[in-house]
């Protein structure tokens, strides 16, 4: 029997940095809501996965017709991203060794080839795996005044992206541990690291941006345009 792969998509954010009138996942790029675009990419790579979508309880923009997956459910989001993901994990009926991939709704440009690569790596690595990209710029640590305190070495420094994939049991226990210790983690890998695990970094494409600020919209739109016909 083949293993179940779960896709947890945290989509309960408010998009404060975007500053739009509606949550950023409902803004459109080339006429399609970001949430629908992200789900299309995930479906193109992992059509048999079971989707768990974290939505704010006050959300009145979501349309079920945007979900291409056969098996899916919605769960209430939490206060922070990690709370949304943990709510999803505590709701779904998964087995200890089921694979769980977590992907931000705000990353609609993720490539199908990268999704497949991280799924395979997460399956092959006992500590799990995540998409990431090596830092390309010179890194400065700022002082309180806004001037440079010092230059950080960028050697071995990576940006963490999503998706991030782990076995269900260790991931759930790691996030429950973080919550019990009132530790805010901004990605799943951090929670696993705190449990002594060493998730595998998988070098991903640089165009897997997280739509966060207003000027990311034009960038994401240009990326999607350039990717047309290449991934789905
Ligand atoms: N309580 C929260 C907060 C965030 N997210 C999700 O986590 C992802 C990454 O978060 P971010 O880009 O920070 O989104 P927002 O929280 O919406 O943005 P902001 O911090 O600017 O408000 C997004 O897909 C967002 O919808 C979530 O599901 N639940
Ligand atoms: C998980 C994440 O996308 C990795 O880059 C990121 O940490 C989530 O964004 P946030 O702004 O910290 O919620």
Query: Looking at residue 2, what is its pLDDT?
Result: 63
How far away, in angstroms, is 2 Cα from ligand 2 center? 31
CATH number of the domain enclosing 222: 3.90.550.10
For residue 105, the ligand 1 atom closest to its alpha carbon is 24
* Interatomic CA distance for residues 80 and 40, integer angstroms: 25
Query: Looking at residue 229, what is its pLDDT?
Result: 67
Nearest ligand (C-alpha, residue 27): 1
Query: Looking at residue 3, what is its pLDDT?
Result: 78
For residue 17, the ligand 2 atom closest to its alpha carbon is 11
Note down the domain range covering 126: 5-227
CB distance 128 to 95 below 8 Å: no
What are the φ/ψ torsions at residue 60 (nearest 5 degrees)? -125, 25
For residue 107, the ligand 2 atom closest to its alpha carbon is 3
Mutate which of 7, 12, 13 for ligand 1? The one with the most ligand atoms within 8 Å of its CB, which is: 13
Q: Residue 223 domain-assigned?
A: yes
Q: Residue 232 domain-assigned?
A: no
Per-residue pLDDT of the chain (232 residues; tens, 9 = 90+): 467 999 999 999 999 999 999 999 999 999 999 999 999 999 999 999 999 999 999 999 999 999 999 999 999 999 999 999 999 999 999 999 999 999 999 999 999 999 999 999 999 999 999 999 999 999 999 999 999 999 999 999 999 999 999 999 999 999 999 999 999 999 999 999 999 999 999 999 999 999 999 999 999 999 999 998 665 5
How far away, in angstroms, is 186 Cα from ligand 2 center? 5
Strands (E), the chain: 5-10, 28-29, 32-33, 50-55, 72-76, 99-102, 129-134, 139-142, 148-152, 158-167, 200-203
Query: Looking at residue 228, what is its pLDDT?
Result: 86
**How many domains is the chain partitioned into structurally?**
1
Q: Residue 87 domain-assigned?
A: yes
How far away, in angstroms, is 27 Cα from ligand 2 center? 19
């Amino acid at each position: 029997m083949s293993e179940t792969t779960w896709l947890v998509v945290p989509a309960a954010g408010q998009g404060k940095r975007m500053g739009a009138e509606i949550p950023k996942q409902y803004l459109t790029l080339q006429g399609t809501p970001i949430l629908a675009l992200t789900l299309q990419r995930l479906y193109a790579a992992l059509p048999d996965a079971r989707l768990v979508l974290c939505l704010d309880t006050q959300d009145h923009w979501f349309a079920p017709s945007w979900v291409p997956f056969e098996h899916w459910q919605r769960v209430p989001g939490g206060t922070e991203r990690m709370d949304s993901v943990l709510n999803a994990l505590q709701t779904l009926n998964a087995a200890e060794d089921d694979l769980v991939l977590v992907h931000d709704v705000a990353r609609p440009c993720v490539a199908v080839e990268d999704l497949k690569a991280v799924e395979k790596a997460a399956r092959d690595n006992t500590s799990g795996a995540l998409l990431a990209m090596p830092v390309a710029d010179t890194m400065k640590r700022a002082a309180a005044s806004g001037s440079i305190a010092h230059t950080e070495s960028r050697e071995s420094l990576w940006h963490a992206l999503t998706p991030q994939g782990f076995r269900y049991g260790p991931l759930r226990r790691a996030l429950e541990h973080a919550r019990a210790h009132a530790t805010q983690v901004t990605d799943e890998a951090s929670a696993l690291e705190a449990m002594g695990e060493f998730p595998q970094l998988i070098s991903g494409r640089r165009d897997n941006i997280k739509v966060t600020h207003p000027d990311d919209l034009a960038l994401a739109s240009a990326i999607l345009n350039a990717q047309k016909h290449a991934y789905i």
